Chains A and B, each alone.
Chain A
């Protein structure tokens, strides 16, 4: 069943068209990869879904509801969380405050909060150690863990993740991808934008390749990477 359906999406910054006729779907509990070279429009696609950018035309349907013109807070409350490229940790909030911010809209009890924090701390034990530390004092890898934890703590149905492995050491990348697989096992669907196509295609069920704002290829990772031209474009 399709959880997210993007239909003929067009978007532009000022007057420069960035997305042209983009269509794809993400099913319940599956990981979908979105690949493409720098400037292809991957980040813009995620921003449009989260309501950071108003589509010029086309539809974004989530769990049966058209969310194309909704504001980010409404979209989050429908069950979509976004982990942006630059992570955007709140620098002057502690690790715990950052995580709790992801729970604010849920208004759950103290006990429930503690249970949910504990779940994140078990996923990333390093965050537990840094619980009272300010966001700005974390390393790049820890910031990415916090960004994932903050988005995950409210149990979204769909997670939009923009280049989670960017700038991280290989060990940390492994940790992040392990966490991504765990999320899928918990039934969370993911739309995963990655430059690291090799690693991402190992966890994706299906993937899309973008170029100059259009989807140029779609299929299982095996099908897509069998295409020599695509492999060259993505330099894998």
Chain B
């Protein structure tokens, strides 16, 4: 009995705390993905690479002397600007087409490859480490957590809350929800829907960039980091419900726990497989995911 308790306390609990932090960061990437899908019906395959770009941009800016905090502020803005370019030049011209789902999928796939190649040309294929802005360990009930990880958790939570507040509690959010449900009707009230799309796309990309800076010091940056994270974020969006804000957050936290805990007992590769197993199960039982698309009743 004592053994079980100390096993839970010293092995399981720390793993859960770790998974909570990963889950919060994952939610940031998934939130952008699901917002973009909910509004534009676009599956952004380049989203993971915008997260990667965030990591590399942080690495470079810190190298130039902007410092971690400077990078934390600048990177989301820079990545949002890249996202704006992608939306303006690539996606927007395709939106009026009836086959927009397929052509935008191809476009963002192409953008994803280009961004990855770009990163390799500029930063090489090596892994780059980013120094955390502070060190130290905080212990809560004898569970030791690096202070930086706690900070990541807090910052991710703040960004998640800000996003929720924007969408559900502000005038801009009302326009977003209305546009997700009925863009033609929104346009018929004088609102240029293309700007709504553009801003939401930029915001989603900014969140991916933020996740890149936050996780950089934990996992370091490397060219395929976006790809690995995107696949996981897709599982999150599918389980939570394509286009669901609440679903993305709940599913990110849940899937991270499943993966984290499972890897205590089975090899990590299999833990990942388990996550996709859960995704498959949800697809079979509830193909639309656990939560509703935002803007929909």
Q: How far is the CB of A106 from chain B (nearest CB, A)?
A: 8
Q: Contacts A72-B184, A90-B178, A100-B171; is A77 near B190 (CB within 8 Å)?
A: yes
Interface membership of A73, Cβ < 8 A:
yes
A92 and B171 CA atoms in complex are apart in Å by: 13
Cβ-defined partner of A76 (8 Å) among B174, B189, B296: B189
Per the 8 Å Cβ criterion, residues 175-232 of B in contact with A are: 175, 177-178, 181-182, 184-193
Q: Contacts A91-B181, A92-B181, A92-B297; is A100 near B188 (CB within 8 Å)?
A: no
A71 and B174 CA atoms in complex are apart in Å by: 22
Interface membership of B295, Cβ < 8 A:
yes
The interface residues of chain B lying within 8 Å CB-to-CB of A158 are none
Per the 8 Å Cβ criterion, residues 128-181 of B in contact with A are: 171, 174-175, 177-178, 181
Contact size range, B: 20 to 34
Per the 8 Å Cβ criterion, residues 80-106 of A in contact with B are: 81-82, 84, 88, 90-93, 97, 100-102, 104-106
A72 and B178 CA atoms in complex are apart in Å by: 16
The interface residues of chain A lying within 8 Å CB-to-CB of B181 are 90-92
A71 touches B187 (CB 8 A): yes
Cβ-defined partner of A105 (8 Å) among B182, B191, B294, B295: B191
Interface membership of A207, Cβ < 8 A:
no
Per the 8 Å Cβ criterion, residues 27-49 of A in contact with B are: none
Q: How far is the CB of B189 from chain A (nearest CB, A)?
A: 5
A93 and B189 CA atoms in complex are apart in Å by: 15
B190 touches A73 (CB 8 A): yes
A73 touches B174 (CB 8 A): no
Per the 8 Å Cβ criterion, residues 65-84 of B in contact with A are: none
Interface membership of A213, Cβ < 8 A:
no
A129 and B174 CA atoms in complex are apart in Å by: 20
One digit per residue, 1 when the CB lies within 8 angstroms of any chain B CB and 0 when it does not, for chain A 113-146 equals 0000000000000000000001010000000000
One digit per residue, 1 when the CB lies within 8 angstroms of any chain B CB and 0 when it does not, for chain A 43-85 equals 0000000111000000000000000000111011100011010
B188 touches A104 (CB 8 A): no
Q: Contacts A91-B181, A93-B178; is A105 near B296 (CB within 8 Å)?
A: no
Q: Contacts A73-B187, A76-B188; is A101 near B175 (CB within 8 Å)?
A: yes
Interface membership of A154, Cβ < 8 A:
yes
B185 touches A92 (CB 8 A): no
A73 touches B296 (CB 8 A): no
The interface residues of chain B lying within 8 Å CB-to-CB of A92 are 177, 181, 294-297
Q: Which residue of B lies closest to A104 (CB)?
A: B191
One digit per residue, 1 when the CB lies within 8 angstroms of any chain B CB and 0 when it does not, for chain A 194-213 equals 00000000000000000000
The interface centre, meaning the residue of B171, B177, B185, B189 with most chain A CB atoms within 10 A of its CB, is B189
B184 touches A101 (CB 8 A): no
A-B contact list, 6 entries, CB within 8 Å:
A73-B192, A76-B189, A82-B188, A92-B177, A92-B181, A102-B189
